[in-house]
Chain A
Amino acid sequence: MFLMWYRTLQLGIKSLWLHPMRSLLTMLGIFIGVASVIWLLAISEGISLEAQRQIASLGADTIIIRSVKPPSEKLSPQGVTPYGLKRDELDMLVSTIPTIRSALPIREIRRQFQYENVTIDGRLVGCTPEYADVTRLKVESGSFITDAENFRRENVCVLAAKVADRLFPGKDPLNKPVYVPESKDFYRVIGVLQHRNASAAIGGSLAAQDFSNDIYIPIRTLQQRIGDTVAMRRGGSFEGEILELNQITLITSSIEDVKTTASLVENALTSHNDMQDIAVVVPLELLEQARTTRMMFMIFMGLVAAISLVVGGIGIMNIMLATVTERTREIGIRRALGAKRSDIVRQFLVETIVLSVVGGATGIIAGVICNPAISLTRDIIKDRFPQTFAALPEVVQKLTPTIVPESIPIAFGISVIVGVVFGLYPAYRAAKMSPIEALRHE
């Protein structure tokens, strides 16, 4: 039996070899189908993993509460309306909800920073020492803010890597003063952070959280030096803002407590519902959402791939039907010499399976080189057309396709199935012919 299939296979290859161009073009359909399955899945997986990484970097066991500017009809027409999170509320949350392990208040203000003749725009972030750990900021040199510095409200600051580069090009920023012209303060640099990738957008803003323009100072220092009322320049006119805290990051005692804690927090902050001035972000939920999105993406991609494979299959069927007609005489001869219907079915089925399997296998090879192919193309674009490259969205620039391991056996299996399914009808047509009529065929 095995020998029979082996010989039929030999015969099939021989017949396909008689028309190399035709066989090649037929395989192309399956090749493209399989390669595109692997590519599409790898690209979507790459994007999805990046999204998940960004969300995970917010911390899966955290709950983030952000103050957001309320809609204008909620603001009183005159003067400046205070809004957002209060320090009292922070104390209230920490003291009443036992599943909160710690809480990090943050106050952030857009400011200009100066050193000698360099001035840059950035974000002044008042925070506590734990902030570095929770947001996974690593210190490159010096140290992060300490409890003592926060308690004593010292004028010290820690620079993000990019700020350090821009404000102190080629110089060591440690122990140098950074001047904030708007509040006429100097802050001594005590540490510089390592570069950090952006994390997922939170609090309704679309942009990813970018930590690269931050200068961190103790939150108590900020409270004393700048206070809750801040005047900001915006388009030439000044705008006021009364806000105690921009954000509270709550760290729960375990991931299981995240959801219950989040609903408790939301209930506790009901007074804000009316103002619509806070947003509660649960990274865990975002993560789950991202996974659901990934599933949907995969299904969608699968559908696209399935369509292309079906198109490839129809190509195979088309060619095989033509082949069956062309080889009617041969079928008649074989039937007269003792071939059963099943022998004829097997012969044609083997040919379609060979076509689809070879197409599938080469498709897999093309699929697996997806990653090097994309980075090569990217490097070429980077070299030849730097401007075009810079204009590309960041997702495209940083895209690293991740091959989904399951996609390889699935693609291969599908290509075999396509071969069988679309080969059956032509094979059946071939076997159904009466040997007498087939012999008469010219």
Chain B
Amino acid sequence: MISTPTRSACSVRDLKKEYVLKGETVRALRGVFFDVPEGDYVAIMGPSGSGKSTLLNMLGCLDKPSSGQLLLGEDDVAKMSDDELAEIRSRRIGFVFQSYNLIQQLTVVENIQVPLFYQGKLGKKESDRCVELAHMVGLAGRLSHRPNQLSGGQQQRVAIARSLVNDPYFILADEPTGNLDSRTTEEILQLFHRLNDEGRTIILVTHEDEVAKRAKRVVRLKDGVVQWDRSNTEESRREAAENAIRNLPVES
């Protein structure tokens, strides 16, 4: 999976979202512009109320914008129907959530398989791929465990494996390390780094500077618009990684 830098994984043009809450119109997004080329690693930051979650919902095709253009690959998702959006979610987006969001009654492999289930891909080849992904995220010995038998870090690995199963345009991670201790956070961030090196596009929403520093690029939202959009140098990224490792608590 070699990325061609010219292609765009996601392109946001003048995206607006308004909704009515208790009789008042809330303008959550007031015209957001940015592009995510394939192979990029973007951290979206911003204080609460900045429109972060709303943007995330748009990017994840969970909600429709009020106006503007939203291209995922070649698909213009802004005007799609509910079923078409579901189709895009199952084929093109890899979700990773803060609270893992695994299905409790399913095993590790079955959880990884869920997006394929809704594409109607239920064959042997697909379940082999899920096992392979479980191996890749380091869960080889836990294929038939259920989520409640796993630690938080392990659950998040399952979620990451699940996000990769459909070869998405990008991994959309919403505070993926928010529930994890610093050691596990580091493991997950390294996993993201590795996946990005392999050519995966990652969009990560976070409010932690430490996490954002590890991305290639940071987009900061404020009051529904992009406040700034800047790249992290290779050097600063490496430095942030080293710092993080240095600051890890000593294992007893």
Contacts and interface: CB of A to CB of B under 8 A. Distances in A.
A439 interface: yes
Contacts of A329: 101
A4 interface: yes
A343 B87 CA distance: 11
B141 interface: no
Given A435-B62, A436-B57, A436-B63, A330 B91 contact: no
Interface in A318-348: 329-330, 332-343
A338 B91 contact: yes
Interface in A394-442: 434-436, 439
Interface stretch (B7-15, B117-125, B194-202, B218-226): B117-125
A7 interface: yes
B97 to A, nearest CB: 7
A4 B122 CA distance: 8
Contacts of A3: 120, 122
B62 A436 contact: yes
Contacts of B86: 335, 338-341, 343
B82 interface: yes
A333 B118 contact: no
Interface centre among A4, A336, A342, A343 (most CB of B within 10 A): A336
Contacts, number: 68
Contacts of A141: none
Interface string B104-139: 110000000011011110100000000000000000
Contacts of B39: none
A340 B101 contact: no
A22 interface: no
B16 interface: no
Contacts of B83: 340-342
Contacts of B192: none
Contacts of A337: 89-90, 95, 114-115, 118, 162
A18 B118 contact: no
Contact of B105 (A14, A332, A338, A342): A14
B80 interface: no
Interface in B69-98: 82-83, 86-87, 89-91, 95, 97
A3 B119 CA distance: 12
Contacts of A336: 60, 62, 89, 95, 101
A436 B53 CA distance: 10
B103 interface: yes
A356 B57 CA distance: 38
A3 B120 CA distance: 8
A4 B120 contact: yes
Interface string A84-117: 0000000000000000000000000000000000
A15 interface: yes
Contacts of B117: 7
A439 B91 contact: no
B169 to A, nearest CB: 14
B97 A439 contact: yes
Nearest to A1: B120
A336 B162 CA distance: 12
B123 to A, nearest CB: 8
B87 A338 contact: yes
A177 to B, nearest CB: 88
A3 B117 CA distance: 10
A343 to B, nearest CB: 6
Interface string B231-245: 000000000000000
A334 B89 CA distance: 10
A14 B115 CA distance: 18
A64 B102 CA distance: 81
A7 B114 CA distance: 11
Contacts of A14: 105
Contacts of A333: 101-103, 114
A332 B97 CA distance: 12
A235 to B, nearest CB: 81
A329 B105 CA distance: 13
A435 B118 CA distance: 15
Contact of A340 (B60, B91, B118): B118
A338 B115 contact: yes
Contacts of B115: 337-338
Contacts of A339: 86, 90, 118
A278 B101 CA distance: 87
A3 to B, nearest CB: 5
A336 to B, nearest CB: 5
B122 A7 contact: yes
A19 to B, nearest CB: 10
B97 A338 contact: no
A18 B82 CA distance: 31
Contacts of B122: 3-4, 7
A4 to B, nearest CB: 6
A248 B82 CA distance: 83
A439 B102 CA distance: 11
Contacts of A4: 120, 122
Interface of A: 1, 3-4, 7, 14-15, 18, 329-330, 332-343, 434-436, 439
8 contacts: A336-B62, A337-B90, A337-B114, A338-B87, A338-B115, A339-B86, A339-B90, A341-B82
Q: Which 3 A-B pairs have the closest CB atoms?
A: A338-B90, A338-B118, A340-B86
Given A3-B122, A15-B105, A436-B63, 20 more contacts: A1-B120, A3-B120, A7-B117, A14-B105, A333-B102, A334-B118, A336-B89, A336-B101, A337-B89, A337-B114, A338-B87, A338-B89, A338-B90, A338-B118, A339-B90, A340-B87, A342-B83, A435-B62, A436-B62, A439-B97
